[in-house]
Amino acid sequence: MSKFSRLGNDLYSGRKSVDFVGKTRIWYAVSGLIIIAAVLGLYFRGLNFGLEFRGGAQFTVSVPTSEVTQANADKLRDDVSATGIASAQQVVVTTAGKNSIIVETEPVTPTESNQIEVAIEKSVGVTHGDISTDEIGPSWGKEVAKRSAIGLVVFLVLVVFLIWGYFRQWKMSVAAMVALAHDLVITVGIYALSGFEVTPATVTGVLTILGFSLYDTVVVFDKVRENTKNLRASRMTYPEAANLAVNQTLVRSINTSIVALIPVGAILYVGAVQLGSGDLKDLSLALFVGMAAGAYSSIFIATPLLAHMKSSEAANAELEKRIRTRRAHDVDRYAQVPSYADDLPIAADPDVVPPSDARAEPAARPTGGNRPQPSSDATGRGRVVPQSRGPVRPSSSSGRVQPTRQAKSKRGKK
């Protein structure tokens, strides 16, 4: 644990760093493959909408624990389909918990419901009191879907304005929304591939993961804003400052995600393995997949995308060019020294007097040549040459005897 703490300190101080922003192509490729798999699952398998959305009848059969087997479930499916009822041809039979088997059909009439109950009694040898029937109309499911869609749209609009108003940067809102769409597509695709039913509990889980994903993204963005507040003083480019922010919040994101995923994973195991089908299983699967995808997107998608958009701005691009030039100069200080070529003009040595006429005035320093000429202005150390107010004229006191300083012993004596 101490090594993990030291790693967190090194990441926060910058002594160690993982290049999340610089390897955007790798992260985008990984996310692209996952999204393609999710879209293919949606296209070929589709979502398995629960009874609450499509409507129908549900028969819950109470049997001893020893009879809750897949063999009895298959037998019930065949016997219910053999009734010849059109609504019972696409019957779904699943085990639920330790003493229940659930039979789901399309909407049926009261007479057809009685026929199905008789078929169930003969199939597994139960009485009429061991069967409970629930009928759900499709209108209720449509109302749930409609209200869920309205809630999702309102949530997204409010989040966009909240992030925009808090960070004062619309590009952060765009990056956060892209990461959020990434999480939603992956979660829905996993549901399609797993075959889990989409129930109102699933909708609740999906709306919950939206908040979790944005929470993690906003924390990282807040650190990005802190690091990029004064880039010129820090002498870092925007992608470097954003990458430092991800590294500084990496340990916190990992710890938060693990702490949140452990109990959700336990609920998923209990709901899917111990209890069978149910709202608990649908809710926990949406939460588990969404939380994992949200932790991934806040680190590997949102921040690299934000850094890519911000680095294209003129001010950040100019700063990045200046910093790279300065770093190249620091590595090799003589890299910018001009090279001399054969076609440069030849100038005489300014410190040598021509030998032809020794009595002549010293030659003036040449203005051309390879040697830089000193400026006539006094420069350096903050000195500025004052401007002259006019030519120097003879003073009226130039002919007078000027006082001189005498010794103390001769002062006052004539």
Instruction: Tell me the range of 45-49, 83-87, 126-130, 287-291 where mean pLDDT is highest.
Output: 287-291
**Is there a single domain that holds both residue 276 and residue 154?**
yes
* pLDDT value at 128 more than 50: yes
pTM: 0.63
Domain total of the chain: 2
The least confident of 8-17, 44-53, 184-193 is 8-17
* pLDDT value at 349 more than 60: no
**CATH code assigned at 166:** 1.20.1640.10
**Is there a single domain that holds both residue 124 and residue 158?**
no
* pLDDT value at 4 more than 80: no
Domain housing 86: 56-136
Average pLDDT, the chain: 76
**Is there a single domain that holds both residue 43 and residue 60?**
no
**CATH code assigned at 106:** 3.30.70.3400
**Is there a single domain that holds both residue 191 and residue 273?**
yes
**Is there a single domain that holds both residue 44 and residue 64?**
no
End-of-domain residue from the set 88, 120, 136: 136
What does the buried/exposed string (b/e) look like for 307-337 if buried means 16 or more CB atoms within 10 Å of the residue's CB? bbbbbeeeebeebbeebeeeeeeeeeeeeee
| Residue 368: predicted pLDDT | 47
Closest Cα to residue 108, out of 124, 89, 95, 129?
89
**Is there a single domain that holds both residue 165 and residue 126?**
no
* pLDDT value at 228 more than 70: yes
DSSP 24-92: HHHHHHHHHHHHHHHHHHHHHT--EE-HHHH-EEEEEEE--GGG-SHHHHHHHHHHHHTT--GGGTT-E
End-of-domain residue from the set 277, 298, 323: 323
**Is there a single domain that holds both residue 217 and residue 301?**
yes
Would residue 13 count as lying in a domain?
yes
245 and 227 Cβ atoms separated by less than 8 Å: yes
Amino acid at the residue 32? G
| Residue 275: predicted pLDDT | 62
**Is there a single domain that holds both residue 238 and residue 291?**
yes
* pLDDT value at 265 more than 50: yes
Would residue 394 count as lying in a domain?
no
Distance between CA atoms of residues 220 and 222, nearest Å: 5
